[in-house]
């Protein structure tokens, strides 16, 4: 497996306090990465990723750091992207000025998040105007534009985001609210049926993130806060070690299993009591909830690792057997000649 985008979580602070925020960001939240940490991390990861994404919290609250990170990313020949709530697009003029700075720094892709959690009814009209101003300004440039909606898709924010994206030639992406960060207060459930959890591979496991606390996780968002033993938490003593941590994780059998066949495929490796415990710990029916329930559980991780080691040994044994059969066939063919 190869990692694709390194997330640089510039700050925990945000001007908003969305109810579903997976990073628990708010105006009161504290914690920022420093420039030396960012520079070390980006340079160290450069050989293992194709791009760097500047995110938060609200990345544009640390505008200078954001622009510097984008510039460094470009200078290393990597693709740069940013996720923002677009608060800075207060008028068409301001939107154009900020987007001009981002493009001049080397930004390739700008994603703006917009859903019903991003505004109160009182601020709705303002947020809609900002979204429109941002997308209109971005459409005048070569930036790849994305509108990210998070929610059930049954509200008018979905319609607003979808039609604004279509109007300005932006891609529209949707995601479900997850039971992590403040999202836990919205959708925490009891007695979740394991059958609800979808099969399939995880496409986000290849997007690692460095947080303001200096923690490093294999995926952006849901892995945050994973315990020390978790395979989702990549071990680093400093930001300059993220490249080594990625090299180690690229060959980790559990990370590769999540990437290739998905968290649900790990259930078969669990003994009955551990499987029952994992199922009891599900927060909802999402793939991430199952992934965290397994990887947070030290015994479950040991059982999955043991099974994967067994599979590896079986593959090695079968290959050796096939090779010896081939040699025998070649030898007998040689004898007949």
249 belongs to the binding site for ligand SF4 (CB under 6 A): no
Burial grade of 181 (CB within 10 A; 0-12, 13-18, 19 or more): buried
**CA–CA distances in Å: residue 252 to residues 13, 90, 214, 249, 335:** 33, 45, 21, 5, 44
| Nearest distance in Å: CB 258, ligand SF4 | 5
Query: Judged by CB under 6 A, which of 164, 288, 293, 300 binds ligand SF4?
Result: 288
In the region spanning residues 25 to 44, those forming contacts with ligand SF4, defined by CB under 6 A, are 25
| Nearest distance in Å: CB 238, ligand SF4 | 23
User: Residue 81 belongs to what H/E stretch?
Assistant: strand 79-84
Query: Judged by CB under 6 A, which of 8, 21, 143, 270 binds ligand SF4?
Result: 21
Q: Identify any residues that bridge with 52 across adjacent strands, giving them in sequence order.
A: 6, 80
In the region spanning residues 165 to 194, those forming contacts with ligand SF4, defined by CB under 6 A, are none
287 belongs to the binding site for ligand SF4 (CB under 6 A): yes
What distance, in Å, lies between the first and last C-alpha atoms of the chain? Answer: 44
Total number of residues binding ligand SF4 (CB under 6 A)? 27
> Which stretch, 11-19, 40-48, 236-244, 296-304, contacts ligand SF4 (CB under 6 A)?
11-19
Q: Going residue by residue from 114 to 153, which x/- string records binding to ligand SF4, judged by CB under 6 A? A: ----x-----------------------------------
Query: Judged by CB under 6 A, which of 258, 274, 283, 304 binds ligand SF4?
Result: 258
Measured CA to CA, the distance from residue 215 to residue 224 in angstroms comes to: 8
**CA–CA distances in Å: residue 196 to residues 152, 264, 266, 267, 282:** 16, 11, 16, 14, 11
**Could you check whether the bond before residue 57 is cis, i.e. omega within 30 degrees of 0?**
yes
Q: Going residue by residue from 199 to 238, which x/- string records binding to ligand SF4, judged by CB under 6 A? A: ---x-xx------------xx--xx--------x------
Measured CA to CA, the distance from residue 87 to residue 16 in angstroms comes to: 9
Of 96 and 113, the one with the shorter C-beta distance to ligand SF4 is 113
> Which stretch, 52-60, 132-140, 244-252, 296-304, contacts ligand SF4 (CB under 6 A)?
52-60
Measured CA to CA, the distance from residue 284 to residue 268 in angstroms comes to: 20
- Closest by CA position to 83, among listed 54, 62, 105: 54
Measured CA to CA, the distance from residue 141 to residue 160 in angstroms comes to: 22
> Which stretch, 15-23, 93-101, 157-165, 169-177, contacts ligand SF4 (CB under 6 A)?
15-23
DSSP string, 202-265: -SSTT--EE-TTS-EESSSSTTTT--TT-TTB---SSGGGHHHHHHHHHT-HHHHHHHHT-GGG
56 belongs to the binding site for ligand SF4 (CB under 6 A): yes
In the region spanning residues 81 to 120, those forming contacts with ligand SF4, defined by CB under 6 A, are 85, 113, 118
| Nearest distance in Å: CB 66, ligand SF4 | 14
Residues that bind ligand SF4 (CB under 6 A): 14, 16-18, 21, 23, 25, 56-58, 85, 113, 118, 202, 204-205, 218-219, 222-223, 232, 258, 263, 287-288, 291-292
């Amino acid at each position: 497996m190869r990692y694709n985008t390194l997330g640089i979580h510039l700050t925990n602070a945000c001007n908003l306090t969305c109810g579903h925020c997976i990073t628990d960001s708010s105006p009161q939240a504290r914690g920022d990465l420093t420039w030396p940490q960012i520079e070390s991390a980006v340079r160290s990861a450069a050989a293992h990723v194709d791009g760097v994404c500047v995110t938060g919290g609200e990345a544009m609250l640390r505008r200078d750091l954001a622009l510097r990170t984008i510039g460094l990313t470009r200078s290393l020949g990597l693709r740069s992207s940013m996720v923002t709530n677009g608060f800075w697009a207060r008028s068409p003029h301001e939107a154009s000025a900020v987007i001009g700075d981002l493009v001049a720094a080397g930004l390739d892709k700008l994603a703006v998040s917009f859903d019903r959690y991003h505004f109160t009814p009182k601020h709705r009209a303002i947020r809609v105007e900002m979204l429109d101003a941002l997308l209109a300004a971005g459409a005048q440039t070569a930036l790849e534009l994305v509108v990210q909606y998070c929610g059930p898709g049954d509200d008018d924010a979905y319609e607003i985001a979808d039609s604004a994206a279509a109007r300005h030639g932006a891609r529209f992406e949707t995601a479900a609210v997850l039971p992590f960060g403040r999202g836990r207060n919205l959708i925490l459930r009891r007695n979740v049926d394991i059958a609800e959890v979808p099969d399939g591979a995880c496409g986000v496991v290849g997007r690692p993130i460095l947080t303001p606390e200096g923690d490093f996780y294999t995926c952006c968002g849901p892995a945050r806060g994973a315990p020390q033993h978790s395979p989702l938490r990549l071990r680093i003593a400093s930001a300059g070690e993220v490249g080594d941590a990625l090299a180690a994780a690229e060959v980790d059998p559990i990370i590769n299993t999540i990437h290739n066949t998905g968290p649900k495929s790990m259930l078969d490796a669990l003994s009955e009591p551990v499987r029952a415990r994992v199922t009891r710990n599900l927060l909802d029916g999402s793939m991430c909830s199952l992934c965290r329930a397994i990887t947070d559980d030290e015994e479950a991780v040991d059982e999955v690792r043991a099974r994967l080691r067994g599979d590896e040994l079986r593959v090695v044994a079968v290959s050796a057997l096939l090779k010896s059969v081939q040699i025998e066939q070649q030898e007998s063919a040689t004898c007949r000649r």
